[in-house]
């Protein structure tokens, strides 16, 4: 009886003559994959505050930006510099330039800034609004196309009217506006220094000086005005009578004071100014002293 023949053994792959070739190719592919993965970098690019991750093989900042499709124009700021090498995990910041026209207290200038909002732009230009007013909110974005901005700074201005000295913090653009805010009317003939249309710088002293447009006749000037003032108000330029009320050496009411060209209160002005206005009043009423100073008017005549 003939013996059974063994079935042939299946071929063993690693005993194939191609096995070394296949293994080498796999090792090369794996090595290439590992090497490639080691060369790929992930870099964070921040453009005007907006972040994006960029993966690639770029070695320098400018190459990373080119791969990301980010162009750099004149005036743009790039950190690190464009030719600097960048490592995996690095951060590149790009601040794009934008034009800004700034008018500060009437003076206009044009600048290029990289700040993305109004507040940062003013800081970049070293402009301090000093609690003044802005034509746009501090947080408003400055577009790449640029914008115009108006700044009115708050300044300390002094107004001298007679004996009064008023100090205010203002954003007014003219001396006239300062006086209006202080509710100081300017009757005809009053002189203002500096001129009403001029710009009040910080620390400006505005002086309001009355001009005596109505001449006092010599006969009126020779009357005994000190005696009248002594009788009416003890000669006190600051005298005040709440019954009325009446003010100053000649006890003017505000209505009568304004009628003879006075501004503010009579007691705001020195004795010489009060006496001039009293003389003008005397002339306007035709010498009828009794209608104005019934109990003391006869003191005018020594």
Q: Is residue 54 within 8 Å of residue 42, measured between CB atoms? A: yes
Q: What is the pLDDT of residue 30?
A: 46
Backbone angles phi, psi at 233, to 5 degrees: -145, 30
Q: Do residue 292 and residue 227 come from a single domain?
A: yes
Q: Which residue has the tokens 């301090």?
A: 128
Q: Do residue 291 and residue 248 come from a single domain?
A: yes
Q: What is the pLDDT of residue 34?
A: 40
Q: Which residue has the tokens 């090498």?
A: 85
> To 5 degrees, how large is the angle CA 240–CA 243–CA 249?
30
Q: What is the pLDDT of residue 31?
A: 43
Q: Domain for residue 134, yes or no?
A: yes
Q: What is the pLDDT of residue 36?
A: 42
Rounded to whole angstroms, the Cα distance separating 43 from 66 reads 13
Question: Domains in the chain: how many in total?
Answer: 4
Q: Range of 126's domain?
A: 98-152
Between helix 225-233 and helix 271-284 the angle, nearest 10°, is: 100
Secondary structure of residue 87 in the 3-state scheme: coil
Full-prediction pTM beyond 0.85? no
Tell me the pLDDT tens digit for each residue of 201-233: 999 999 999 889 899 999 999 999 999 999 999
Rounded to whole angstroms, the Cα distance separating 254 from 256 reads 6
Q: Do residue 223 and residue 294 come from a single domain?
A: yes
Backbone angles phi, psi at 187, to 5 degrees: -65, 165
Q: Do residue 222 and residue 296 come from a single domain?
A: yes
Q: Do residue 296 and residue 228 come from a single domain?
A: yes
91: left (phi over 0), alpha (psi -120 to 50) or beta: beta
Instruction: Give the domain-ending residue among 152, 172, 195.
Output: 152
Q: Which residues of the chain are under the pLDDT cut of 70?
A: 1-39
Secondary structure of residue 6 in the 3-state scheme: coil
């Amino acid at each position: 009886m003939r013996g059974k023949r063994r079935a042939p053994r299946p071929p063993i792959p690693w005993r194939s003559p191609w096995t070394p070739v296949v293994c080498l190719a796999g090792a090369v592919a794996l090595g290439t994959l590992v090497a490639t993965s080691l060369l790929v970098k992930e870099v964070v690019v921040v453009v005007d505050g907006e972040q994006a991750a960029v993966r690639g093989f770029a070695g320098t900042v400018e190459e990373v930006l080119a791969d990301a499709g980010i162009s750099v124009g004149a005036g743009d700021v790039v950190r690190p510099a464009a030719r600097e090498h960048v490592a995996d995990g690095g951060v590149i910041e790009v601040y794009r330039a934008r034009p800004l026209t700034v008018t500060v207290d009437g003076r206009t200038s044009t600048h290029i800034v990289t700040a993305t909002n109004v507040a940062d732009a003013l800081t970049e230009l070293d402009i301090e609004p000093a609690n003044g007013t802005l034509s746009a909110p501090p947080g408003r974005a400055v577009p790449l196309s640029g914008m115009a901005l108006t700044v009115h700074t708050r300044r300390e201005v002094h107004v001298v009217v007679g004996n009064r000295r008023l100090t205010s913090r203002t954003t007014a653009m003219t001396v006239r506006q300062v006086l209006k805010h202080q509710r100081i009317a300017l009757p005809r003939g009053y002189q203002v220094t500096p001129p009403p249309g001029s710009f009040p710088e910080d620390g400006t002293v505005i002086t309001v000086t009355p001009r005596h447009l109505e001449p006092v006749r010599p006969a009126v000037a020779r009357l005994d005005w000190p005696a009248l003032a002594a009788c009416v108000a003890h000669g006190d330029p600051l005298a005040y009578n709440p019954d009325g009320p009446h003010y100053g050496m000649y006890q003017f009411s505000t209505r009568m004071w304004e009628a003879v060209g006075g501004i503010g209160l009579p007691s705001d002005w020195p004795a010489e100014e009060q006496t001039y206005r009293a003389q003008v009043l005397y002339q306007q009423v035709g010498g009828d002293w009794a209608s104005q100073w019934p109990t003391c008017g006869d003191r005018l005549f020594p």
